[in-house]
Amino acid sequence: LSSLPLQILFYVNGIYYIFYFLATLAMIIYKSQVFSYPDDFLAPDLAVLFLMAVLEVPRLYLGCKGNLREEAAALGLSLGVTVGSVALALYLLAWQTYVLWAEVLLGALLLAAYALEAALKVTAIAAFV
Amino acid sequence: PADTRDAAQPWPRSAPAPVTDVARLCVCDLLVAQCDPNCCCDPDCSPEEFSLFTACSVPLVTGDSRLCSQKAAVYSLDVEANPPQRIFQLIDRVNPSIFCIRATNYKQALYLRSPEMPTPENFDELLHKFGSSAFSAEPENWKVDTEAPNPPDLNETSRYEFGVPIQTEDAFLRLPSPVVSSWCSDANPAGFLVNQDTKCIRAVSVEKCDRIPALNMLFYTNSSILAVPKSSQTVNVSVQSVVVQSLDGMRTLLKEGKDVLRLPVILGELCLNVVLGVSYHITYTDTGEIREAAAAFVLGAISKETPSVQQSFQISFTQVDTNPVALSGNPGYVVGLPVRAGSRPGEYPFQGELGSSGRCQLSVLPSSAHECLAAQGARAPVLFGHNVLSGCTLRITAAMKCQPLAQTLLDVLKGPDFPEYVASFGNSQAQDVLDWVPITHLLISEQRISATLQSSCQIPVSLRIEVKWTKYGSLVNPQARIVNVTATLTTTTLRQLPPGRERIIPVTSSVVFTDVSAPAEPGYKAWPTLNIKLPFDFFYPFV
């Protein structure tokens, strides 16, 4: 049986991620105007943010598909991409050039969501296999 | 050798690290090893000195306030205690904003960047970036702008404009003038329509006087002037007149002065024909083209004792086919310029006024006059705004006859051609009769009450010219306009002197300018009127 909490979490994660992406982008723009943000420090931060956005789409898609069709492979792939997303989110939380308090909050929330998702995926894979 | 290599590295490889510890930063600690007054963070101060402070000039030293939490050093004075003590606290300040910086991974984020130390490797690059008078983030941009400098005034190809340097075949028409000090600099160009009058000193020596170019007439007449900038039409500088000045200062005009050329010649201990002054007269058309150029020279002689000579240079511009009448203001009079006056030659035929450049000028006795009868001839022009009081003394002997004396004194006071009209504006034209103010004459005769017959003669002793002027025009740029000129002649009786006796009486002439301006009236624009009219057949069919 598909995991209902996981599906709910995917749905919420999708909406929250859009908000997170826009908020982080706005704050990077704000930081670049207010603080001294040279180009060779701005580029990696923006690259990580966009990479995370790009990874989010297949992650959610694969997760949804695997959960609804009760396929362990897709869920496993989604879990792998989640690990990558966690790493990028951790970079934005701790190793950005400037880390604002708001970013810490949003990032922590996102990481909590990822962690919960990962746990639910593992249980789902165990159930499907 | 080893010692030179060691000596070649005295300076450090990098700048000293910035102080970031809040407890050690003190902005008011200016005196080294001394206590700064009212500076609570100064480490050189002892507790006794702290007790003498009245307030802390620096109460708080913090790190960047945009960080979420930063260390702060708080200095305050406890005035309640006896003696007053300084309190120092190291606290953590918290920034409550949600956008405060929790962490930075960029070392120089919140500090000013230390400049790069120049090394042999990066010197060229640093020089390229910072070597010009202005730095820019993109030095290539600046290079492109300054690569093709436009000569600023030479873009006009068809005519001269005001202030543009007059070009000659090789360079510019030079008018030596003093730059910074009084010594002559030959690089000053003459500007078109810019009348100049300069004096400068040049070092000379008799032995080299024929080799110094600036003492030679040819230097000033050699190069021909271009009629329009960047054209091939040239105008030669002709010699208009030559005045020769002797060593004691006496000047004589050379009869055959036109187009004569006299080069410096060494004669014993003197050097003759040295240029002491040049006066250029340039004739131009109203399209900005130079028609003629003439130069009038003053040549003199220098002797072995003179180490330097003063040269004077003038340049003036006249338009073709005009008679230049110097304006005294445009339109209001300018303080210091002569008052223009004139007279009408006759009622019929109606000729108009003569300008003041002719013989007819409002003038007074010069201030250098001493003896009236000897002072005939020298006059000082009346300058607008300058009150003048001058006079001379008259020695009356018994043998002087009254009537001729009175006439002579009148001539001395009024001058040879006393005008009848004074221009009310500085630029009044002779054709505009209404712009000229007639001079009112008043006569005051000081008569002795005691037994004088009317037939005793009166001699003029004082002439007072009172010029009433007003401010005319707008409040922000008022122009001076003469409204009234009154010439008051005071006469006194000449008592017969016993023979052999002399009397000395003073004769004075004065000019007074009084401002009779009415207070300014504000002028408002008319209220806008609404022009509403109903159409003719608006109330059709009732009307």
Spatial distance between the Cα atoms of B361 and B379, rounded to a whole number of angstroms:
10
* Contact call for residues B274 and B214 (beta carbons, < 8 A): no
**Chain B residues within 8 Å of chain A (Cβ atoms):** 66, 68, 97-106, 108-110
Cβ–Cβ below 8 Å for A98 and B68: no
Q: Which amino acid makes up residue B416?
A: P
B335: alpha, beta or left? (left if phi > 0; alpha if psi -120 to 50): beta
φ/ψ of B124, rounded to 5, equals: -65, -40
| Residue where the block lists tokens 């009486």 | B505
Question: Is A63 exposed, middle or buried (CB count within 10 Å of its CB: 0-12, 13-18, 19+)?
Answer: buried
CA B211 to chain centre: 35
- B-chain residues within 8 Å CB-CB of A29? none
Q: Helices A101-128 and A72-94 sit at what angle, rounded to 10 degrees?
A: 160
Return contacts of B349-352, CB within 8 angstroms, 24+ apart. B352/B430, B352/B431, B352/B433
**Quick one: which of B184, B208, B199, B215 has its CA closest to B304?**
B208
% helix, strand, coil for chain A, step of 5: 90, 0, 10
pLDDT tens digits for range B147-178:
444 444 444 467 888 888 888 887 888 888 88
- A-chain residues within 8 Å CB-CB of B109? 35-36, 97-98
Q: What is the mean pLDDT of residues B35-41?
A: 87
Spatial distance between the Cα atoms of B482 and A22, rounded to a whole number of angstroms:
77
b (16+ CB within 10 A) / e for B127-142: eeeeeeeeeeeeeeee
Cβ–Cβ below 8 Å for B99 and A99: no
Spatial distance between the Cα atoms of A49 and A24, rounded to a whole number of angstroms:
8
Q: Please give the pLDDT value at position B136.
A: 61
Q: Please give the pLDDT value at position B522.
A: 76
Query: Is residue A115 predicted with pLDDT exceeding 90?
Result: yes
* Contact residues for B76 (Cβ-Cβ < 8 A; gap 6+): B40, B56, B59, B86, B87
Residue of chain B nearest A42, judged by CA positions = B106
ipTM higher than the 0.90 cut: no
Instruction: Select from B64, B69, B97, B101 the residue whose CB has the most chain A CBs within 10 Å, as the one to mutate to test that interface.
Output: B101
Pairing between strand B60-62 and A98-100? unpaired
pLDDT tens digits for range B207-258:
888 888 888 888 888 888 888 887 788 888 888 888 888 888 788 888 776 7
Of B357 and B123, which is predicted with more confidence? B123
* Contact residues for B175 (Cβ-Cβ < 8 A; gap 6+): B188, B189, B190, B196, B198, B280, B313, B315
The percentage of residues in chain B with a pLDDT greater than 90, rounded to a whole number, is 7
Identity of the residue in B98, B109, B110 whose CB atom sits nearest the CB atom of A101: B98
Task: Tell me the pLDDT of chain B averaged across its residues.
Answer: 80
Q: Please give the pLDDT value at position B377.
A: 66
* Contact call for residues B176 and B196 (beta carbons, < 8 A): no
Q: Helices A39-69 and A4-34 sit at what angle, rounded to 10 degrees?
A: 170
Q: Please give the pLDDT value at position B347.
A: 47
A94 touches chain B (CB under 8 A): yes
Q: Which residues 19-48 on chain A approach chain B with CB closer than 8 angstroms?
A: 27, 30, 35-36, 41
- B-chain residues within 8 Å CB-CB of A36? 108-110
Task: Say how many CB pairs under 8 Å bridge A and B.
Answer: 44
Cβ–Cβ below 8 Å for A101 and B102: yes
A102 touches chain B (CB under 8 A): yes
Q: Please give the pLDDT value at position B34.
A: 87
Spatial distance between the Cα atoms of A75 and A94, rounded to a whole number of angstroms:
28
- A-chain residues within 8 Å CB-CB of B66? 35
Q: What is the 3-state secondary structure (H, E, C) of B268-315?
A: CCEEEEEEEEEEEEEEECCCCCEEEEEEEEEEEEEECCCCEEEEEEEE
* Other CB atoms within 10 A of residue B107 CB: 7
% helix, strand, coil for chain B, step of 5: 10, 35, 55
Query: Is residue B353 predicted with pLDDT exceeding 90?
Result: no
Cβ–Cβ below 8 Å for B68 and A30: no
* Contact call for residues B270 and B301 (beta carbons, < 8 A): yes
**Quick one: which of B204, B164, B170, B169 has its CA closest to B184?**
B204
B2: alpha, beta or left? (left if phi > 0; alpha if psi -120 to 50): alpha
Q: What is the DSSP string of B176-230?
A: -EE-SSSBEETTPBPBTT--EEEEEEEE--STTTTT-GGGSHHHHHSSPEESSTT
Q: Please give the pLDDT value at position B400.
A: 76
pLDDT tens digits for range B43-65:
888 888 888 888 888 888 888 88
Query: Is residue B10 predicted with pLDDT exceeding 70?
Result: no
Among B184-188, B326-330, B447-451, the least confident range? B447-451
Q: What is the mean pLDDT of residues A77-92?
A: 94
pLDDT tens digits for range B283-322:
888 888 888 888 888 888 888 888 888 899 989 888 887 7
Query: Is residue B6 predicted with pLDDT exceeding 60?
Result: no
Instruction: Select from A42, A92, A101, A103 the residue whose CB has the most chain B CBs within 10 Å, as the one to mutate to test that interface.
Output: A101
pLDDT tens digits for range B99-151:
988 888 877 667 777 777 888 888 888 888 887 777 765 544 444 444 444 44
Q: What is the mean pLDDT of residues B5-25?
A: 64
**Quick one: which of B538, B335, B509 has its CA closest to B418?**
B509
The kind and range of the H/E element at A39 are helix A39-69
pLDDT tens digits for range B497-524:
777 788 888 889 999 999 998 887 777 7
* Contact call for residues B383 and B402 (beta carbons, < 8 A): no
